[in-house]
Amino acid sequence: MIPQLDLKAEYESVKDEIQKSVHEVLESGSYVLGNKGKQIEKLLSEYVGTSYGIGVANGTDALLLSLEAMSIGNGDEVITPPFTFFATAEVIARVGAKPVFVDIDPITYNMNPALIEQAITKKTKAIMVVHLFGQSADMEKIMEIAKKYRLKVIEDACQSIGATFNGKKVGSFGDTGCFSFFPSKNLGTYGDGGMVVTSDKDLYEKIKVLRNHGSEKKYVHSDIGLNSRLDEIQAAILEVKLKRLDDWNQKRREIANRYSEKLIGLVKTPITVKNREHVFNQYSIETDNRDELASYLNHRKIATGIYYPLPLHLQPAFHGLHYQKGDFPIAEKVSEKILALPLYPTLKEYEQDYVISSIKEFKGDSNGIN
Ligand SMILES: *Cc1c(COP(=O)(O)O)cnc(C)c1O
């Protein structure tokens, strides 16, 4: 079977260093909020180009803590795309605010900036922008609108660590940038982890307190916070992997380019916009007979994934928002056609060739239907 993602192969390539780094933690006797955590906060914020980093338990909490530190809650509205992982809008509802969806652009699958202004009301407090699949949203236009209406910007960069817009890394544009280290992300731990980055000292201090039960001084609690910390073992793993991230992202781009060269004309291949560097957390094609292609590939022992089959405005959990089918036609159309192919840094050329030839054969069999 060719998996969609091979985490075991990645581990094999860094095994000795990971084991050494984890061993140091085990021997240190310090397991939560220690030196490894501080070190990865420093390294990662430097990598992204912000002043501060705050390690948290996962990417979802990074988003949640950003909202809480900005005092966004009951009665507020936050603008976000309907085509993303559920967590993006989940946290908005979780703090008591209302997610207001704006349809995506069909080229990048990211929020269409031309549709943002009409969604802004007196209650709008922030834009939660998502950099989907590894490509930046249009941060020039989005930051311009945010400035004009004095809105906060939270970047959900969970899928796009290392991606750039006009040479600047995602996560460094907004008031906060949020990363997930879930194993399937480009920089993943062996468990859960996340980080908020920011250059706003006030937000940094607030989030640092909130992630640790609202406590700055031990047993004195100034806020109602959370237990959401990045533990030392995960930080030790990230320290080893961060050194490889740029190489791994480059490898992902090479594999993606090879797919696109061979599949162009056969299916709709992903487009990288000129001023952006894509990091391909997913390589997603679009095709009319998506489900048939997925099962054909599955029979040939090739795993695929669908991100995402149901846009957020149509999720049962958001029925109360009173959106309907047809409200966001691009997100809906894409969700019916999109299919992610196997892509990870250790994917072999012969494996990729097999995926490509299988798609070609399917297209031949289905006789001109595309
Ligand atoms: C993975 C992901 C999250 C959530 O991250 P977790 O670490 O799993 O909580 C949020 N948003 C997007 C776009 C993601 O891909």
Report pLDDT digits (tens) over 17-32.
999 999 999 999 999 9
Structure confidence at residue 366 (pLDDT): 66
Name the band, by pLDDT with cuts 50, 70 and 90, for residue 363: confident
Name the band, by pLDDT with cuts 50, 70 and 90, for residue 364: confident
> Are 40 and 238 spatial neighbours (Cβ–Cβ below 8 Å)?
yes
Ligand 1 center from residue 79 Cα (angstroms): 17
Cα pseudo-dihedral 139, 140, 146, 152, rounded to 10: 40
CATH code at 7-102+110-242: 3.40.640.10
Q: Read off the pTM.
A: 0.97
Query: Looking at domain 245-362, what is its CATH homologous superfamily?
Result: Aspartate Aminotransferase, domain 1 (3.90.1150.10)
Domain with CATH 3.90.1150.10 in the chain: 245-362
Structure confidence at residue 365 (pLDDT): 73
Domain with CATH 3.40.640.10 in the chain: 7-102+110-242
Atom of ligand 1 nearest to the CA of 194: 7
If you average pLDDT over every residue of the chain, what do you get?
97
Separation CA 311–CA 335 (nearest Å) = 7
* Averaged pLDDT, 26-42: 97
Which distant-in-sequence residues (6+ apart) come within 8 Å of 354 by Cβ?
A: 2, 300, 302
Ligand 1 center from residue 87 Cα (angstroms): 6
Report pLDDT digits (tens) over 254-285.
999 999 999 999 999 999 999 999 999 999 99
Q: Which of 64, 156, 234, 281 to mutate to test the pocket of ligand 1 (most atoms within 8 A of CB)?
A: 156
Structure confidence at residue 174 (pLDDT): 98
Ligand 1 center from residue 178 Cα (angstroms): 9
Structure confidence at residue 370 (pLDDT): 43
- Three-state DSSP at 104 gives strand
End-to-end CA distance of the chain: 25
Structure confidence at residue 261 (pLDDT): 97
Name the band, by pLDDT with cuts 50, 70 and 90, for residue 367: low
Q: For helices 59-69 and 87-94, what crossing angle results, to 10°? A: 40
Separation CA 101–CA 330 (nearest Å) = 12
Question: Could you give the percent of the chain with pLDDT greater than 70?
Answer: 99
User: Is residue 180 lining ligand 1, measured as CB closer than 6 Å?
Assistant: yes
In 10 A of CB 351, how many CB atoms? 16
Tell whether the model's pLDDT for residue 369 goes beyond 80: no
Q: Which of 111, 156, 158 to mutate to test the pocket of ligand 1 (most atoms within 8 A of CB)?
A: 158
User: Is residue 130 lining ligand 1, measured as CB closer than 6 Å?
Assistant: yes
